[in-house]
Amino acid sequence: MNFKVAFKGQVLALEGWSSDATVGSVKEYLAGETGVEVSGQKLLWKGKVLGDDACLGTLELGVNAKMMLMGTPQQQIDAQHKMDRTAQARAVRRAKAAAQARKSGSSSRSVRDITHTFHRITVLPEFHEQDKARQLLERLRDDKGIVAIMQKHQWSVGELAELSPAQQSILGYNRNKGEQIAIRLRTDDLTGFRHYDSIRKVLLHELSHMVWSEHDDNFHALNRQLNKEVVQLDWTARGRMLQQGAFAPGSMDDEEIDSSAVTWETGSYRLGGRELAPQTYAELRERMARAATWRLTKEEEQEMDEGCGSGSGSSGAAKNEHAT
């Protein structure tokens, strides 16, 4: 049997394998070729992780079949551990600085920013376009609405991480109420990245787990509140009210309005119906907040809840790890 294995932008050709050979034996071969230890390998075929005892003959590998190998060479793991230790030391220094600032009565914005934030960003090293994945997570961390929410609710998250696409049943999780939040960034076919608005909704869902563990009415109320605040607080933070409080058409950047929810027609502002143009930024903020709430539909709530791997009667995630 002949097939290929994709790994970190490379394609390894495996030829002349017996149909009785196991996935485990393939991993042993790949360990020598890639430097990834067998215990740290995941072989994916048609989106599923293969078990070590599976025989190649049962996988229905056709012509030009290509598996995907996930894993990190030991050298990179050691380097990551070193980075982790450096990041932890930096976090300790920041915490000491924040404590000293509180002790001295300081309330500077810089202290709040380094306290109520995501303290570490982690992407999957085994996938291509790691820079884009990191940029997405940094965009979430630095999103003005998210920053304002973190400060308002005084939340601190140890790590914001990219979720492995191998965990197909979930979109994200919150481990131990802020120790780590992981979010799925990539599309199911692994050829691109999900829309930023969808990713941010998942992050807001996981931030709701900072307070409520179960997907009950309290949880959903907070989740809807955060979807409103992420817009409302963003506009407030920008503070671009004119001196007389009047709304100046054309004074906003294109990126600041979600074109999927807001349209401009013949000079008038319309949101889900025929409405008069907003006359002040306060009115615009209120309409945008309503739009954010409406865009978090019941269907979306149900989809996220059903994808949760923890809570009453669910399985598939570690204890105290709230997955969506």
pLDDT one-digit tens code per residue, 131-143 = 999 999 999 999 9
Which residues are CB-contacts of 183 (< 8 A; sequence separation ≥ 6)? Answer: 137, 140, 160, 161, 162, 163, 171, 172, 199, 202, 203, 206
Query: Residue with structure tokens 């120790």?
Result: 179
Rounded-to-integer distance, Cα 71 and Cα 101, Å: 42
Residue 150's Cα: distance from chain center in Å?
Answer: 16
Residue 286 half-sphere exposure, CB side, CA atoms within 13 Å?
6
Residue 291's Cα: distance from chain center in Å?
Answer: 22
pLDDT at 265: 30
Rounded-to-integer distance, Cα 31 and Cα 25, Å: 10
pLDDT at 235: 60
Is the pLDDT at 296 greater than 90, yes or no? no
Residue 31 half-sphere exposure, CB side, CA atoms within 13 Å?
12
Q: Is there a contact between 190 and 165 (Cβ–Cβ < 8 Å)? A: yes
Rounded-to-integer distance, Cα 294 and Cα 261, Å: 9
Whole-model pTM: value is: 0.51
In this structure, of 4-18, 97-111, 132-146, 255-269, the range with the lowest mean pLDDT score is 255-269
